[in-house]
Structure 1
Amino acid sequence: MPVSGQYPLSEACPELAEALNMRHISPEVGAASGLKMCFATTTKGFMGLAIQAFTTASKLGVVDELRNEMSEAAPGLLDFAEKSVPLVPPKSYRWVREMEEISDTHRAEGGFEAENDVFRDMAELYQAMADDPVLGAEKVGGRKRGTTIDDLAAALGDGLATRKQDKSDGSLV
Structure 2
Amino acid sequence: MRFYTSGPHEGILRRIETERIAVKPLGAEIGRASAIKMMYASLNKGANALRAAAILAARQLNVSDELQEELAHSLPDVHKAMLARMPNIACDAARWTGEMREIASTYRDAGLTSGFHEGAEWIYEVLSNSPISEESRDEADAKKRSLDEVTEIYHRTLLDYLGRV
For the criterion TM > 0.5, the same-fold answer is yes
Residue type at the aligned position of 2:135: E
CA distance in 2, matches of 1:145, 1:96: 25
SS in 2 for 1:26: coil
Match of 1:141 in 2: 138
- Kindly state the Cα deviation for residue 8 of structure 1 after the two structures are TM-superposed: 4.1
Q: Given the two structures, how large is their TM-score scaled by the length of structure 2?
A: 0.81
Which residue among 124, 127, 131 is the counterpart of 1:126?
124
- Kindly state the Cα deviation for residue 139 of structure 1 after the two structures are TM-superposed: 3.0
- Kindly state the Cα deviation for residue 131 of structure 1 after the two structures are TM-superposed: 2.0
Residue type at the aligned position of 1:26: G
Structure 1 outlier segments of 4+, above 4 Å: 12-15
CA distance in 2, matches of 1:95, 1:13: 26
CA distance in 2, matches of 1:15, 1:120: 37
Identity of aligned residues (%): 22
Structure 1 stretch 61-70 or stretch 143-152: which is displaced more? Answer: 143-152
Q: Given the two structures, how large is their TM-score scaled by the length of structure 1?
A: 0.78
8 Å CA contact 1:145–1:155 kept in 2: the answer is: no
Match of 1:25 in 2: 26
State the superposition RMSD in angstroms.
Answer: 2.5
8 Å CA contact 1:58–1:150 kept in 2: the answer is: no
Query: Once the two structures are superposed, what CA deviation does each residue of 1:126-173 show, in whole Å capped at 9, x if it has no partner?
Result: 1111123x2333333333878443222111111222343xx3xxxx47
Match of 1:3 in 2: 5
Residue type at the aligned position of 1:28: E
SS in 2 for 1:90: helix
CA distance in 2, matches of 1:163, 1:57: 17
8 Å CA contact 2:59–2:151 kept in 1: the answer is: yes
Asked if 1:98 is matched to 2:96, the reply is no
Alignment CA distance shift 1:21-1:153 (3 Å): same
CA distance in 2, matches of 1:152, 1:130: 13
- Kindly state the Cα deviation for residue 14 of structure 1 after the two structures are TM-superposed: 5.5
Structure 1 unaligned residues grouped into runs of 5+: none
Match of 1:111 in 2: 111
Superposed, 1:11-90 pairs within 5 Å as: 16-19=16-19, 20-90=21-91
8 Å CA contact 2:55–2:151 kept in 1: the answer is: yes
8 Å CA contact 1:6–1:27 kept in 2: the answer is: yes
CA distance in 1, matches of 2:108, 2:10: 28
8 Å CA contact 2:14–2:23 kept in 1: the answer is: no
Residue type at the aligned position of 2:42: T
CA distance in 2, matches of 1:151, 1:52: 16
